[in-house]
Copies of this chain bind each other. A is one copy, B any other.
Amino acid sequence: MAIAAKSMRPMPGESTRNRIVHIAMNLASREGLESLSIGDLAKELGMSKSGLFAHFGSKEELQLATIEAAEKVFGHAVLESAFAAPEGLPRLRACLENYIRYLEDCIFPGGCFFSAVAAEYDDRPGRIRDRIAISMRKWSDVLLEQAKAARERDELKPDVDEEQLVFELKAYTHEANFSRRLLDDGLALGQALKAVGSRLDDVASRAGRAALRR
């Protein structure tokens, strides 16, 4: 009875709640947030369903906590180091390249957590969909901010539309995620990287090209 047979070590400093959310996040990136079951999660953690449940009070709260945790992971993996790059085109490029590396490194076992759950909830109104939309919007806004910073620094050719540019850049990275996962397309990440590189080259003014070379 006293012997807790666990494959998952308790991770001294880590609270039970954090352990739960951590596992939930990784499960959800593969199977989705909806089919995430409290019973399965409890089994995986070697605790009782109701013990786990007590930490959240409802499945929805667990799902929301999971999204927030995933946002932190995304911030660490993709955004943090990109903010070391200078504002404008260099930082825009760093964000996109970091995103592609985040796919390559399988930070989540099911690819991009947010692409997965966004597709799952895009037609299911409610708090979960709203929370996911906020996360996606944040990411979109970071990219658009940098495109606008690039414009202010004259790093973009005069006729370039910043929103159109960001739309195209996001498209490459999302396509990389789906092509790679469904079609086992090993070339997809490279194609996305190439697409990002040549699109940025296309839109960069002389000042922009100089900034990208630095």
Contact = CB atoms under 8 A, between A and B. Distances in A.
A76 B28 CA distance: 35
A195 B118 CA distance: 23
Interface residues of A, number: 45
State the oligomeric state as a number of copies.
2
Given A182-B136, A191-B167, A119 B121 contact: no
Interface of A: prevailing SS: helix
Nearest to A199: B168
Contact of A122 (B122, B178, B191): B178
A115 B120 CA distance: 10
Contacts of A140: 183
B110 A182 contact: no
From A29, A119, A191, name the one whose CB has the most chain B CB atoms within 10 angstroms.
Answer: A119
Nearest to A110: B123
Interface of A: 29-32, 34-35, 109-111, 115-116, 118-124, 129, 132-133, 136-137, 140, 163-164, 167-168, 170-172, 174-175, 178-179, 181-183, 187-188, 191-192, 194-195, 202
